[in-house]
Structure formats: structure tokens, C-alpha cells
Structure 1
């Protein structure tokens, strides 16, 4: 990766959340693909090989949109999407905590990959979070993380008297193209 400062966001990539259902009534629910539609970040790759890259990202919690729902007895309807988005805003308390933020604290570089440790602030709580990143080509990074919602005080969705639940861990996926400024 070329040394430089890079601005990232919706114009340069995608930030996705995958949720998974569990419980006795799991077959009636949907596994969801959710996209962050308002987010921005900053990546610094220093010219000095002794210095480590830094990453910071900020996402608007009110700008999460359900892109796809798989599984379930019936296809995901527009009404379902709207209800899920209302439920997400309530669970994430977007009125009180409008943003999620990640700031790297350590980066371990390997050939075409890296492990980025950092602090993630969600619902007013900050805890360590790890990202795994791979370099797909000269300018494209792909990354993943598993985020356990309850660690940040988010109670996973539960319906049908607890028979349908979302798994506590959600998967975060991102792809960004870096072009220096």
C-alpha cells in the first residue's frame, strides 16, 4: 500500500452488517444484510516503515438500511424493512447515540493482510475491537470483524415471546478503495 493519507466513506466503499437468526422460530425470521449509508473515515499509511498505519471511522447509526433478507417463510417485504429499521434505531438508541466510532490503537502488518486493534464506541460505551484486513489489489482493502452486541449494552432482537432471536454476534464487512489526497 502506498504511503499517504486516504479519505474513505460511501463514495469509496461499502460498510455492511450481517445478522443471523436463531431460536425455535428462526425459520420465520430473516438473516439480514444491512448497509451503512452515511460513514466516513481516515487512513494514514506512513512513509516511514517503522511507523504503523492508523485508521479512524465514524458511522451514522440512523443511516442503516436493510438491503436484503434471506431465509424466512415469506420474502422480506417493504413493511418488514421499515419495521426492522425502526427496531434498529430503537435498539441502538440513535436519538441519544447518533454515531459509532472506531479508532485504531495497534496495527500488525503481514504480507497482504493486517490485524487492526482499536477502540469501538457504540451506544456510549467504548471497548476493544479487532478488524482483519486483506489487500485485494494495489488500492482495495477488504475487512471483517465479529461484533458481540451485548458487550456494548445492545440487547439482540427477540420476537415471538423469545422463540425468534438474533444471534448476539453480528458480522461486519467492508471494502474500500484508497486513493491518496
Structure 2
């Protein structure tokens, strides 16, 4: 049986229907020592209002809990990523970088949608640590799947990318956000 295609309507988004992941890279002279990370957001929710006949009538909202981040993969590096490394990375992200106690929610709200189901663009506002900046999401609908990505430059939100080894190993300023969902209506 072939999967049904998404139709116009209102759809719930969240971990029950898909994944929301962050992908980081490394920079600096010591980049060979670090890892490219894949971090999954385990607590998030959202809503997509889809109008296949009028993209400008579409809207997307989402809220993410940055304290729910989990390191699911660490590629590259001189040594394999250990369980202790994962714990330390999450502690640093939660306490020092995103200060999740003071800023427990990351929000996205679309301001404009254009394109076609096979290739659309969502312009929106992303709020991280009470700083709101514009962001562009590129997506597509294939059957029942809604997928896409955006690139966030951390320093635009006042976030100082992680560094170690006296600045020789740095997290790249750009973080890719990817989503893959089968929204529920």
C-alpha cells in the first residue's frame, strides 16, 4: 500500500512524529581532536498549517526544550566519543552555552511561506536565550514526510561557540538544524 500524501490541514509536530536534530562542525587548529556532533532534541512540539493551494496561508510554530538535548553521534576526532564525553558536552551546552535554567524554551514562528510542496521556503523568527532573529528554513513534502533544514549562526544570537585547548579547538559558528517528520492531523 502506497503512503498517503499530506493534504491541506493542521498538523501536530513533535518527537512522536519525527526527529529534530542539530549538527555541529569544528574549526581551529585543533579541530582534528574534536567531534562533529549530532544532537537530538527529545522534547519539542509544534504545529504546521498546510494549504497546498496557497503557500502564503501556511504557518509553522515550534517550541524546543534545550535541556532535552541528547548527543546521539560524534564523528571524527582522534578518539571515539565516550559516555563521559557526552555527559560533559551536554552539561556545557545546558549550563554554560544556552543557560537553560534561565532560558528554558527555544521558539520558532513562521512569518512567510513560499514555494511548492516539493521545494518551499519558510521565513521566520527564531528566539534563543530571549534574542529573536530571522531564519530561513528550506523544506519539502514527499508523500507523508515533511523534511527540511536551516542554518543558525550562533553569534547572531549572542552565543559564543564552545572552544577548548586555549581556543585551538572551536565549535563552528554555524549549526545545521534538520527535521524529518510525519505530522499527525
Common topology (TM > 0.5): yes
Distance 1:91 1:143 in 2: 25
Q: Comparing 40-49 with 92-101, which one deviates more in the overlay?
A: 40-49
Distance 1:178 1:78 in 2: 32
CA-to-aligned-CA distance 1:37-61 (integer Å, 9 cap, x gap):
0000011124763752100000001
Distance 1:49 1:92 in 2: 37
| Counterpart pick for 2:169 among 145, 157, 164 | 164
Tell me which residue corresponds to 2:42: 37
Trace 1:15-54 onto structure 2 (pairs within 5 A): 15-46=20-51, 49=54, 51-54=56-59
CA RMSD across the alignment: 1.3
- Which ranges of structure 2 fall in alignment gaps of 5 or more residues? 1-5
Distance 1:104 1:45 in 2: 12
Tell me which residue corresponds to 1:113: 119
Tell me which residue corresponds to 1:2: 7
Trace 1:142-161 onto structure 2 (pairs within 5 A): 142-161=147-166
CA-to-aligned-CA distance 1:104-151 (integer Å, 9 cap, x gap):
0000022512100001000110010110001122x1111010100011
- Which ranges of structure 1 fall in alignment gaps of 5 or more residues? none
Q: Is the 8 A contact 2:126 2:133 kept in 1?
A: yes
Q: Secondary structure at the match of 2:136?
A: strand
Distance 1:54 1:26 in 2: 39
User: TM-score scaled by structure 1?
Assistant: 0.95
What number of residue pairs does the alignment pair up? 179
Tell me which residue corresponds to 1:124: 130
User: TM-score scaled by structure 2?
Assistant: 0.93
Q: Secondary structure at the match of 1:2?
A: coil
Distance 2:174 2:83 in 1: 25
